[in-house]
Structure 1
Amino acid sequence: MKKLALLLILGGSIHFSSGQELGFPSKTHQKAFIGLDYLSVKMPFDAILGLPEDNMGLTGIHYNLWLNKSIYAGAGFYGSVNGIRGGLFTLGLNVGIKKELSKHWFVDAGIHFGGGGGASAPDGGGAFLLPHLNLGYALNNFSVTAGYSAINFFDKGNISSQQLNFGVQIPVSFDYSLFKEREQSYTVTDLVKSSWNQPSKRISLLLHLNNLSPYGDSKLTDGSLLKGKTIQLAGFEINSYFNDQWFAFFKADGAYHGIQGGYMDLFLGGGYHFSMNKDRTNILAKFGLGAGGGGGVDSGGGFFIYPDLSIEQRLFDEVYLAINKGYLMSLNNHFSATTLGFGLKYYVHQQGLSSTDGSQLEDVKIKGVQFILGQEMYLNADRMIEPTEHLHQFALQVNIFMNKHLYLAGHTSFADFGNAGAYAEGLVGAGYRSKKLGKTNASLFGQVLLGAAGGGDIGTGQGLIVKPSAGLDYKLNNQLSLRTAFGYVKARGGLLSSPSISLGINYSLGILTAK
């Protein structure tokens, strides 16, 4: 709950410039930055082997909003990429302050408060603190940082280390409207004299099922070979385009069948997009770097490379059927697999009225988007071996509204208390949000999520869970609201079957889209 209190304190002072033009949708400019960092964590002595354990290399990716000119807050993931703990992942909240020393030099101090674990690491319940104090140097398009950091898995964990860290910060920004303006439609002619008359940014969202087919010496941590088995994954991929051809992507998958629940992977990379057949058919070549493991898979330190080739065929409007074929492998061939995936992909131009080639777009509409950070609790969550107890998680959910009330959701959560640090979820689903209840600021919602989950001795079987819930959303201001829910979580083929309670902070906005 400390994370929620911190968000509420900071949330009212987000750094932006805004304006309301008569007859036009509101426009607010939000500054932010993407952070990438690496630290080498000293691990405790391995009492079983009687040997010191190699350092664990952690790499992180973060998205932070500027709350004012000096203070930032956001969320970030960490994953193991070196050592023997491939499959250790975390999710947490960032808060920091940045002070300029000169035109180029600055000091960055902050803290990351998160939850997670995995790969049989001594992570306890999963909760950890990671403060840092860095010196940075600003270049034209990015900044580099280095400095001191300390990590402590303080909830009965045995990972505590002080180390140097190295990072890169890339400034980004976006424009948005008010959430209450969602589903308002305009023509380009309506907005040509507004501040929205600017080049758009193209993005795409892919929801897919992916099959991993290990080969060679790929094995489980118990030594049994994985060759001939298929690990079935579900996940998503987001592409952000620099121009018509080149793009960056972020991809996340989790296992729901084929092995014990708990495997997941995260990738960041780039690619090239080639269109033909009057833009009805696309071919994409991608290359990514990332982390993966868990679910009993022996992925070594966890660092993977991911080359991939995809073909897409338009079904209708901007919706495509996507098929991908690629490879997922560690550099030393410790783990290798072919990948074959199928999914649905949606392209959209947003935050402007013209495409990257300068042509005017049409069918302008404000779409509602929500980002929810919060704490969840499963009551008496059944374990496979350890005694039953409550499971606590730090969760992130993104809702994309299809109309005024119906939304699609993506959800991830990582254990932070409850002796299950390795437990994590990656879910998708749909929900419905009601109108305001009378003259109050409250509205009701209901949703159903399903997807992959596992780790931490939680009884999820091979990893497929379903998670219905209903709750109340109470508006604090135009962007922030409190959100609470009650629900149930059930594992298919596993012991987990528990009531759930959640409390979070909801950041809502409207995104101008055009076709």
Structure 2
Amino acid sequence: MMGLRAGLLLVCCWVMSSGAAAQGTASVLPSPDALLPTTPVTWSLTQETWNLPAGETMGMTGGSLWWGVNERLKLGLASYGATRGERGGFITLGVASELQHRWSQDWSSTLGLYVGAGGGRGGQPLAGGGLMLRTDVGLAYDTQRWGRLGAGVSHVRFPDGTISSTQPFVRYDYSFNSLMVGGHLQSVSGSVNAGTIGVKPLATRGQEFALVARDMRLSAQAGASSGTRMQLLGVEWTADLDERWFLKLESEGAMGGQSSGYMQILAGGGYRLPVWQGGAVKIHAALGPAGGGAVDTRGGLIWDAGVALQQRMTRHDSLELAWGKVGGFSGHFKGDSLGLKWVHHFSHPEVGSEPVSALALAGLDAQNLRIRLAHQTYKGAATAWRTTYPGLAVSNLGVQLDYFMTPADQTTQWFVSGQGLAAYKGQAGAYMTGLVGGGVHRLLPGNWFAEAEALVGAGGGGGLATGGGLVGQFNAGLGHRLSKQLSIMATTGHIAALRGDFKAKVLGLALVYDLTTFAGR
């Protein structure tokens, strides 16, 4: 899934080698007669209501993205956000696992575990440090064509806070398959040539990834003490259903104004109408949880709708100007926004559950990716770095996704990165940060590697003095490869608000998984 508040980053750094030959760790391209297994992927939507102290309730919506490890085990990323009640902006993110037992073709049972972090909207006593644990047991019916419908019971607990709640839930799952290979291929531009053998190349479907900057003007009632205007920074992903209709998912956080800590996670869709060569008008609508930063979204569920003009600048890149209206389903939240987006166009192969012949990869490029499950601890580097508990360090959990622009067989490799983390310890529940940027990865002898990266984005909440919310971070790290897919990496760095007193040293540890996907040229 995907991180939460996002922004833009530039990096320029150099990692010195020892002069000995670096050991290559890349895989070779598949042989023409190879069969590549596909990976089952599931998108889930969950609804439940938590019981809080003093008789208060909070409706929560959860979104998860699962990857099948085998027929019984799934691993994934998940986020939960308040959508009913009085605490809009209470949002968590984390990792999850699930065991599934199939009783028949239609019926199955599940046992799940989620470990995450977050909080928000005046909920620091509720969330404490921010660590969230959720277990669940459920029963599901597979409609085969329209997805899976399920229900069950979950238990949620914040060990450092006061939330401990057991409740029923309902859930919807939609499954599909994706083509992924463990490890990195030696060439990110190499593809298999089917020649005259007659193997039909895989069909592809268009997708877009966008960096988004948005200026939002809210009504005076919605702005509360934070004022009526804020600037957001984030990311957006869209997937085409056909040549005109598309689905979209976006996440944005405040990085300007007086609303640091505000964030929104929206899902929806739209219609694209070509109007001239390379130009199109897009109509879109979405909804999802939002709040924080003293912005009054009440229950937390908001809607966003608008129109955008998109113009291709190159074959794979566009600029987009968007105007829209936003509003809440409860409370006084309403306003309008003006956004500018840089859009990257690509396509993804459509596959089923059967293995794919390597010959069918003709016309596709290998895309080397990396997922990092990260732990970072902030130690204050300024007296007023926190408005509360200034002597306590803050520990965060999160996920980092990297895309490598350089072939894996080169000693020096450049990558771009998107990262989302949330506090789980240090009485800073509700602090979250979403960053984007880039870095350099340098191979060293003996399966070791060194890295440096620079990032910028939005961060706030939990009593950290991030000003308007714009933060920058620099990390340097040393890692060791355990296998073709897995590595472990330790990092040290510095994070600071660009317009605030927040400054901290950063110590990190990450478990790293390398994989390769394929995209149309």
TM bucket normalised to smaller: 0.7 to 0.9
For 1:348, the equivalent position in structure 2 comes to 346
Whole-Å Cα distance in 2 between the matches of residues 26 and 282 of structure 1?
A: 39
CA distance in structure 1 between the partners assigned to 2:275 and 2:263 by the alignment: 34
1:21 Cα shift? 4.7
The residue type equivalent to 1:74 in the other structure is G
Letter paired with 2:444: L
Partner residue in 2 for 1:415? 423
Q: Is the 8 A contact 1:236 1:253 kept in 2?
A: yes
Partner of 1:218: helix, strand, or coil?
helix
The aligned residue for residue 151 of structure 2 is 146
Contact conserved, 1:318 with 1:347, CA < 8 A, in 2? Answer: yes
Query: Corresponding residue for 2:109?
Result: 107
Structure 1 distance, partners of 2:242, 2:151, is 32
SS of corresponding position for 2:184:
helix
Q: Distance in 2 between matches of 1:342 and 1:114?
A: 32
Aligned-pair CA distance for 1:451: 0.9
How many Å separate the matches in 1 of 2:151 and 2:258? 39
Give the AA of the match of 2:323: K
Counterpart contact for 1:482–1:505, Cα < 8 Å: yes
Q: Of residues 75, 83, 95 in structure 2, which corresponds to 1:73?
A: 75
> What is the CA distance between 1:56 and its match in structure 2?
0.4
1:4-23 per-residue CA deviation (whole Å, 9 max, x = no partner) reads: xxxxxxxxxxxxxxx98525
Aligned length: 476
Give the conservation status (yes or no) of the 8 Å contact 2:119–2:430. Answer: yes
- Which residue matches 1:406? 414
Aligned-partner Cα distance in 1 for 2:47–2:454:
36
In structure 2, how many angstroms separate the alpha carbons of the residues matched to 1:455 and 1:218?
18
Distance in 2 separating the partners of 1:194 and 1:415: 54
Please give the residue correspondences for 1:294-443 in structure 2 after superposition, counting only pairs within 5 Å: 294-332=292-330, 334-351=332-349, 364-380=364-380, 382-404=385-407, 405-434=413-442, 436-438=443-445, 440-443=446-449
Is the alpha carbon distance of 1:70 and 1:315 closer, same or farther for their aligned partners in structure 2, counting shifts above 3 Å?
same
Structure-1 separation of matches of 2:421 and 2:299:
22
Cα offset for 1:126? 0.4
| Number of the residue aligned with 1:514 | 520
Q: CA deviation at 1:103?
A: 2.3
RMSD between aligned alpha carbons? Answer: 2.4
Counterpart for residue 5 of structure 2: none
Structure 1 gaps of 5+ residues are 1-18, 46-51, 354-359
- Aligned-partner residue type, residue 349 of structure 1: S
Say which of 273, 280, 283 aligns to 2:281. 283
Report the secondary structure of 1:408's partner residue.
Answer: strand
SS at match of 2:223: coil
CA contact (8 A) 2:188 2:368 kept: no
Is the Cα contact below 8 Å between 2:272 and 2:283 reproduced in 1?
yes
- State how far apart, in whole Å, the 1-side matches of 2:281 and 2:73 are: 42
Which of the residues 492, 495, 505 maps onto 1:489?
495
> Is 1:93 the equivalent of 2:98?
no
- Structure 2 unaligned regions, length at least 5: 1-27, 352-359, 408-412
Per the alignment, residue 270 of structure 1 pairs with 269
Say if 1:392 and 1:417, in contact at 8 Å, map to a contact too. Answer: yes
Mapped partners of 2:462, 2:85: distance in 1: 20
Between the aligned partners of 1:512 and 1:302, the Cα distance in structure 2 is 37
Aligned residue for 1:410, secondary structure, equals strand
Displacement, 1:180? 2.8
| Matched residue, 1:258 | 257
Measured in 1, the distance between the counterparts of 2:139 and 2:378 equals: 41
For 2:317 and 2:74, locate their aligned partners in 1 and report how far apart those are by CA, in whole Å.
36
C-alpha separation between the residues in 2 aligned to 1:192 and 1:441?
40
**Cα distance, 1:246 vs structure 2:** 1.7
Structure 2: distance between partners of 1:191 and 1:80:
54
Residue 242 of structure 1 is matched in structure 2 by 241
> Secondary structure in 2 aligned to 1:389?
coil
Inter-partner Cα distance in structure 2 for 1:20 and 1:367 = 12
The 3 A distance-change label for structure 1 pair 192 and 345 is farther
Match of 1:158 among 158, 162, 165: 162
The normalised TM-score by structure 2 is: 0.86
Distance 1:172 1:336, change over 3 A: same
Match of 1:217, SS state, is helix
1:198 corresponding residue in structure 2: 202
Shift of 1:471: 0.7
Q: Give 1:251 shift.
A: 0.2
**Cα separation, partners in 2 of 1:191 and 1:486, compared to 1, 3 Å:** farther
Q: Pairwise mapping of residues 492-503 of structure 1 onto structure 2 (< 5 A)?
A: 492-503=498-509
- Asked whether the 8 Å contact 2:296–2:331 carries over to 1, the reply is no
Q: Give 3-state SS (helix, strand or coil) of 2:249's partner.
A: strand
Instruction: Name the structure 2 match of 1:357.
Output: none
Task: Classify the secondary structure of the residue corresponding to 1:219.
Answer: helix
Matched, 1:446 2:448: no
Whether the aligned pair in 2 keeps the contact of 1:361 and 1:514 (CA below 8 Å) is: no
1:388 aligns to what SS in structure 2?
coil
User: Structure 1's 27 and 483: CA in aligned 2 closer, same or farther, altered over 3 A?
Assistant: farther
Cα gap change, 1:124 to 1:195, in 2 (>3 Å) = farther
1:84 aligns with 2:86: yes
- If asked which structure has higher relative contact order (CA below 8 Å, sep 6+), I would say 2
**How much does 1:421 deviate?**
0.4
Query: Residues of 2 paired with 1:333 and 1:216: CA distance?
Result: 12
What is the 5 A alignment of 1:107-186? 107-121=109-123, 122-141=126-145, 142-155=147-160, 157-177=161-181, 179-181=183-185, 183-186=187-190
Aligned residue identity for 2:91: F
Q: TM-score, normalised to structure 1's length?
A: 0.87
Q: Deviations over 1:237-276 (max 9, x none)?
A: 0011222222211100000110141010000111112223
**Corresponding letter in the other structure for 2:393:** H
* Alpha-carbon distance, 1:362 to partner: 8.6
Moved beyond 3 Å, runs of 4+: 23-28, 186-196, 360-364
**What letter matches 1:396 in structure 2?**
V
